[in-house]
């Protein structure tokens, strides 16, 4: 990631270089180009304060770059690392703002598929979902349905770990796991290595939260193993707004996404 300045439009930007995966015969530029185009298309069709803004996609001498808005921010992962865990009202506020962006993405037919504390940016007044590198676009036949090896199993929905297709409910599980991390100061599943974490994630529910207070009901609803039983984004948003109201934090009423998509939209 590079910090840069757009001379034509006179604005600061961030430039993300897409690193191609290496195979036995060398760099896989075709795969890198496909991933870069998917990320740019996914984020580029969204316009919401809680979603990173993408300005352009560049290719120069076989190197690929995504130009996006420049943010002075810490990730949720870094913030919790500094503070240990976040207070209930902070976590609820972060969740409420982030969920508005996620509902906007789902309303536009975009699944993120890799929500985790490292992809959630916190600025002075914004919560921003970034890194749409493995997002799935409605109708994109090139989008893989497998979970990438780089994904942290603590934040991947159980049905995705079992090889099921990505759905909005799977994004909501990852969203809930990120809120769990924020308020508890630890991921939903822990272990000495990724394989141990994966085994625990496949075997059962996360340990009950101990610091979440009124957020426990939200986390329980989001982290249900059966996606059919998981709370909806609308329901979660209403619960978060009620917690904030009781905590004395004023937020705008939850709004429905502008578009209602037909059943089967997210089958990729």
Alpha-carbon span 178 to 187, nearest angstrom: 7
Q: Which of 31, 114, 171, 226 is catalytic?
A: 114
128-144 residues labelled b (16+ CB within 10 A) or e (exposed): bbbbbbbbbbeebeebe
Q: Report which secondary-structure segment, H or E, holds 17.
A: strand 11-18
The owner of tokens 């993405």 is: 105
For residue 98, the SS3 value is helix
Residue 249 CB neighbour total at 10 angstroms:
14
| Rounded CA separation 107/266 (Å) | 10
The Cα–Cα gap between 167 and 155 comes to 14
Catalytic residue at 114?
yes
Q: Are 172 and 222 in contact (CB under 8 A)?
A: yes
Catalytic site positions: 114
């Amino acid at each position: 990631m590079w910090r840069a300045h757009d001379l034509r439009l006179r604005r600061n930007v961030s430039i993300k270089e897409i690193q191609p995966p290496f195979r036995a015969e060398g760099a896989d530029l075709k795969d890198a180009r496909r991933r870069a185009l998917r990320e740019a298309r996914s984020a580029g069709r969204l316009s919401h304060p809680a979603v990173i803004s993408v300005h352009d996609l560049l290719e120069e001498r076989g190197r690929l770059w995504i130009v996006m808005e420049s943010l002075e921010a810490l990730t949720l992962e870094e913030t919790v690392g500094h503070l240990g865990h976040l207070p209930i009202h902070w976590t609820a506020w972060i969740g409420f703002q982030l969920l508005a962006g996620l509902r906007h993405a789902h309303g536009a037919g975009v699944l993120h598929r890799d929500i985790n504390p490292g992809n959630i940016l916190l600025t002075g007044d914004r919560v921003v979902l970034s890194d749409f590198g493995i997002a799935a676009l409605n109708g994109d036949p090139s989008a893989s349905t497998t979970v990438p090896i780089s994904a942290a199993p603590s934040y991947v929905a159980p049905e995705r770990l079992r090889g099921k297709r990505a759905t909005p409910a799977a994004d909501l599980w990852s969203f809930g796991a990120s809120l769990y991390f924020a308020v508890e100061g630890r991921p939903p599943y822990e272990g000495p290595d990724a394989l141990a974490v994966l085994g625990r994630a496949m075997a059962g529910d996360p340990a009950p939260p101990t610091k979440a207070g009124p957020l426990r009901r939200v986390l329980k609803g989001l982290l249900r193993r059966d996606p059919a039983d998981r709370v909806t984004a609308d329901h979660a948003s209403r619960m978060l707004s009620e917690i904030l109201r009781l905590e004395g934090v004023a937020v705008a009423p939850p709004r429905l996404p502008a578009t209602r998509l037909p059943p089967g939209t997210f089958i990729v």
